[in-house]
Amino acid sequence: MHDLIATTALGAAAPCVDHHGPISLTEEPGFALASIAARRGAERATVLAIRRMIGPTAPKAGHWAGERIIAFWTGPDQWMLEAPYDSDEFLFERAIKEAKGKASVTEQTGAWCRFDLRGTGLAAVMERLCPINMATFIAGSATRTSIDHLGCFVLCRSEDHISIHGPRSCAAALHHSLLTAIRAAF
């Protein structure tokens, strides 16, 4: 076991937590990510590999599915897998194993920062950030959008819980945007 100490995307040892009005904004470093893309002609096999990891349904466009390991759709025959870092640091290795050469898997854990918004009235925050239609963006929805020029994945975990994955190098810029929007809304 190596002895290097991890830092979060915002550069601290502990994740950043902010509260404002009914909303809490938390940095969530505790997740592993791996992309999985079907190889040519192996689209079905890839769906089956995903199902073996997340449960009965591989999510279609605009959705996520799963429990401990989840997958969200990122493009035609492409998904991102997400799981708790502590239990699944080597999520990409598990995916490679399940894919059996039928899909290309790439570790993406370090590429993204994740911020979670929790509370009531999240739509008021989100409508200042991106063009997602929050009336139809319900639990199980996932999409890619642009937030203040940053390409982000947005997942609706439940009515009062949204996750935003943004580029890790821009974590501070994204955090600032989110906090600004929260303060403008409430």
Q: What residue ranges bind another protein (CB under 8 A)? A: 1-9, 11, 29, 35, 37, 39-41, 78, 104, 106-112, 127-135, 148-150, 167-170, 172-174, 176-177, 180-181, 183-184
CB closer to another protein out of 139 and 186: 186
DSSP at 6 = P
What's the rounded Cα separation, in Å, for the pair 91 and 109? 9
- For residue 58, CA distances in Å to 22, 31, 70, 92, 119 come to 33, 20, 9, 17, 28
Shortest distance in whole angstroms from residue 96 CB to another protein: 10
Residue 79 phi, psi (nearest 5): -140, 165
For residue 99, give the nearest of 45, 31, 176 by alpha carbon.
45
**Token pair of 56, please?**
């009965």
DSSP string, 34-73: EEEEEPTT-HHHHHHHHHHHH-S----TTBEEESSSEEEE
User: Closer CB to another protein, residue 33 or residue 142?
Assistant: 33
Q: Which is nearer to another protein, 55 or 128 (CB)?
A: 128
**Shortest Cβ distance from residue 13 to another protein (Å)?**
10
Q: In the complex, what is the shortest distance from the CB of residue 173 to another protein, in angstroms, rounded to a whole number?
A: 4
Q: In terms of CB distance, is 148 or 160 closer to another protein?
A: 148
Shortest gap between Cβ of 24 and another protein (angstroms)?
16
CB of residue 172 to another protein, shortest distance in Å: 7
Residue closer to another protein, measured from CB, 64 or 137:
137
Between CA 33 and CA 24 the distance in angstroms is: 23
Give SS3 for 116.
strand
Residue 168 beta carbon to another protein: minimum distance, rounded to whole angstroms:
5
Residue 24 or 180: which CB sits closer to another protein?
180
